[in-house]
Structure formats: structure tokens, C-alpha cells
Amino acid sequence: MLRYGIPEFRLPNELIDDVVGKIKLLGGKFVENFVVGKTATLQDLRDAGFWRIFVGTGAGLPRFMNVPGEHLLNVMSANEFLTRVNLMQGLRPDYETPLPEIAGKDVIVIGGGNTAMDAARTARRLGGNVTIVYRRTQSEMPARVEELHHALEEGIALQVLRAPSEFLGDAQTNFVTAATLDVMELGEPDESGRRRPVVTGQQETIHADLVIMALGNASNPIIKDSEPRLQTSKWGTINLDRRALRRRRWPASTPAGTQPVAARRPSTRPATARRRPARSSGRSTWSRVRSGPWSPARGSTPTSARPPRPSSPSPS
């Protein structure tokens, strides 16, 4: 996700390669082309000898608005758009990437978070005339202040207190051509503490050649569906006993931290979240990805598995 979900101008691939290399030097192993829940279940991994399992799958299932016209061509999620650009090299003219023509076209991005900023700034770099549409005011946008500042600085337009109610398209080609926006106003605060956007009854229509939906993500259900003993919330996140950072109603010999817990966080936060359960179990993070059964008693670390201690400098 770090490599193809976040634009390289914000997170260079060289930095990702450096971190991966350091994890490998610490003894970590990466198993590629392996989908937990499909290739093997959590129980399969335990049966194979993995003593502790850390679930860090994140929230990568894009949300949509379920309004008329979302089925039209060139209406896509930010996940799909960023994957096509980053993984399929859509920024490079020598690649035949299945990406809509963007240069000189009108692009609207729906949403106000960091992913919306990534999608908008990427589309701008591809030559699009980009407008961010957000249903609340600018001061209530959840994106980092500096990300929004950079977007506006790069010439990206912002329409606040607007929410799409319908997408219009060409009857012959089925490509999107416009978006009908409800004009909103702020009402009473909702459960998040922010004032709830309320429809005023007024509407306006703007032209659109490409619509990118950046409305947040839901938890991927693959692991949950493959392990019925996991208890999840109504949002699909794994319920935790936060005092011990352990899953509820999972066999006591398999504590774990999880990251389908809170999705709206910078990508650096999961690294911190992963260290906490590692400390709580008396084991460093690097040992979580080592293969093979642990023979010592629970909570202890085999001497052979510990990384060498750096030698202390001799006193001068």
C-alpha cells in the first residue's frame, strides 16, 4: 500500500526500499503473493507453527456514495486511480496504462482527507483541471493542513459545502459528463463533534470528465470472513481489549495487535501501533515475522533468535 497507494512525490520509493532493507537486516522475512484468509487462514498459520500473529491488514475497501450515475465510466475510487498511476506507471508516457485522459480535462475529487489530497495532486501533475468537492467547510477538512496548503498552492480549486447527488453521463458512450451538487449548510454537531452538513434544497451542476471518490475506506473482510472466532464491530474492525492490546475471544496462546482498527491515520501510525503489542508480549517487533514454532515458554525469546547486542565502546 505504501508503494502504490501513496504518490511517490509524497513518499519516495527509495525510502520504502530503505525501511524494507533494514527490516530484513534485523531478521525479518517478507512472503510475497500471499493473501492471508485466501492462501492460508489464521488457523493454518498457527498450525504451521507461528506462535503469535499480528493482523495489520489496514482498511483498503473503498467507499462510495450510492448515488445515481456512480456506474458511469470514468467514475472511480481514489484507490483505483492511485494504483493505476503508481503501480502501473501512469505518470510515464512510455507505459500503456489504462488511465483516462486527464491533461486539459475537468477532474473533480470528492472528499476532504489525505487520500483526496493525494488523488487531486496526482491528477494535477497529469495536467488536469482539478476541483476538490467537500460537504463541510475548509476548516473542518480532515486532511493535514500542509497537504491542503500544497494542493491549493499547486492550483487545485476547492468547492466546500457541496455534495454530489447525481452524476450525469453521455447516453451513447456511458462516460460521465457532469455532477449535480447539493448546496449544504452546517447544522448541529454529529457524533464526531463536527457540525453536520444539511441539504439546503439548492443545486448546481459542474462539468466533469473524471470523478475520483475519496470517501474513506472500510475494513477488508477477507480475514474476518475466514476466521469466525474473531469479533468485529459494525464497521468490520476487530474488537480489542485495549488495556492488553489483545483480541477478545481468541485462544489465549495467540495474542495479537490489529490494524483494521482505525483507518483515518497517517501511514506512519501503524508502525507505532505494531510496536505496542510487541512490547506487551516481551518480544521485539522483528521477531514477529520469523517462521517456525517457538519452543520456549510463552513470553520468552530464544537466545538464538535475539539480534546481537551492539558492542559498547571501550572507555577512553
Q: Which amino acid is at 47?
A: D
Residue 175 has pLDDT above 80, yes or no: yes
75: β partners: 211
Which of 179, 185, 180, 188 has its CA nearest to residue 200? 185
Average pLDDT of span 25-30:
94
Q: Which amino acid is at 282?
A: G
N-term to C-term CA, the chain: 48
Residue 269 has pLDDT above 90, yes or no: no
Q: Are 261 and 274 in contact (CB under 8 A)?
A: no
Q: pTM for this structure?
A: 0.74
Residue 246 has pLDDT above 70, yes or no: no
Which pLDDT score is estimated for 1?
Answer: 79
Q: How far apart are CA 113 and CA 133, in angstroms?
A: 11
The share of the chain scoring above pLDDT 70, in percent, equals 76
Contacts of 154 (CB under 8 A, 6+ apart): 121, 124
Q: Are 256 and 52 in contact (CB under 8 A)?
A: yes
For the domain bounded by 62-217, which CATH number is listed? 3.50.50.60
User: Cell numbers 499480528 correspond to what residue?
Assistant: 54
Measured CA to CA in angstroms, residue 211 lies from 79, 107, 124, 147, 271 at distances of: 13, 6, 13, 20, 32
Cell of 155: 492550483
How is the chain split into domains, by residue range?
31-59+219-300, 62-217
- Mean pLDDT of all residues belonging to the chain: 80
| pLDDT (tens digit per residue) in 186-238 | 999 888 788 899 999 999 999 999 999 999 888 888 888 888 888 888 877 88
What is the band of 243 on the pLDDT scale with cuts at 50, 70, 90? low
| pLDDT (tens digit per residue) in 290-313 | 333 333 333 334 444 444 444 444
Residue 157 has pLDDT above 80, yes or no: yes
| pLDDT (tens digit per residue) in 92-130 | 778 887 888 899 999 999 999 999 999 999 999 999 999
Which pLDDT score is estimated for 234?
Answer: 80
Q: Are 286 and 23 in contact (CB under 8 A)?
A: yes
More confident residue, 276 or 76: 76
